[in-house]
Amino acid sequence: MGSLSGRVAVVTGASRGIGKGIALALGAEGATVYVTGRTLTPGSYPLPGTVGETAAEVDRRGGRGIAVQVDHAQDHQVAALFEQIGREQGRLDILVNNAFSLPEDLTAPQPFWEKPLSNWEMVDVGVRSNFVAAWHAAQLMVPCRSGLIVATSGYVGVTYTYGVVFGTCKSAVDRMARDMAVELKPHNVASLSMWLGLTFTERANRNLKLNPAMTAQTVTNPLVGSSVEFPGRVIAALAADREIIRRSGGTYIAAELAQDYGVTDVDGKVPPSLRALRGSPIWSPV
């Protein structure tokens, strides 16, 4: 039995990329994982991956994957997801807020006024979507007096990376996780934010191949990158920590948490912390 056997999790934005890796890592520890995302049909999106394929792989890893097509910009779809979880499971132990609307021009060098206003969609699915999912999750977690809400974030929360809206979103995510922790702590529900470094998603691999010059930048140097499963391994360790409430409200660097919990990436290594190069988290536990 895995460390999360019998636990119920939601991972948003898990058709591919970091969300998929997190779902697989939680499944490998025996969790039931609700996999959400917009892509249902193979080939309907430029990059590979669907919610069904991720859920099936969760099953193969030893967990139970449940695919639910959800557009996290649509509140009624999110509400239906959590109603389904309440009906089918009667509880929720882990929410990973990972869904994010990444524009194709995210890494383009143009300043904000030369990029389209539609880039504000990152706030809609990336900040507001976190709040909506957590709002529903809390209503399942608080009565049980247990639960963990994790927001995926990054060094961009304190240092310029790619653009104005991206930095605004991740700073907001960190603060939101902290203030949720203040209100959730009396109910023994933990909330925290976790900074990831370069993660070898399908999109990242494509971008690095198309623009080799990116490999010379600290933020996109492959030597400091991790697999998509590394963040999930760290989250699994957090979820299995009986004293997790002590970390609630903090912003943490995934590489440093891995050292604390003895977690490694799929290659047996631990990516380096970039605290000295890219900045330190602002928020400590409440």
| pLDDT tens for the 286 residues of the chain, in order | 799 999 999 999 999 999 999 999 999 999 999 999 999 999 889 889 999 999 999 999 999 999 999 999 999 999 999 999 999 999 999 999 999 999 989 988 899 999 999 999 999 999 999 999 999 999 999 999 999 999 999 999 999 999 999 999 999 999 999 999 999 999 999 999 999 998 888 887 787 787 787 777 777 778 788 999 999 999 999 999 999 999 999 999 999 999 999 999 999 999 999 999 999 999 999 9
Structure tokens at 150: 């994790």
Q: Is residue 32 part of a domain?
A: yes
CB 14 within 8 A of CB 6: no
CATH number at residue 164: 3.40.50.720
Q: Is residue 238 part of a domain?
A: yes
Tally of structural domains, the chain? 1
Amino acid at 33: V
Q: Is residue 239 part of a domain?
A: yes
Count other C-beta atoms under 10 Å from residue 43's C-beta: 8
Count other C-beta atoms under 10 Å from residue 44's C-beta: 9
Tell me the residue range of the domain where 14 lies: 8-196+224-278
Q: Is residue 219 part of a domain?
A: no
Give the C-alpha separation, 172 to 130, whole Å. Answer: 10
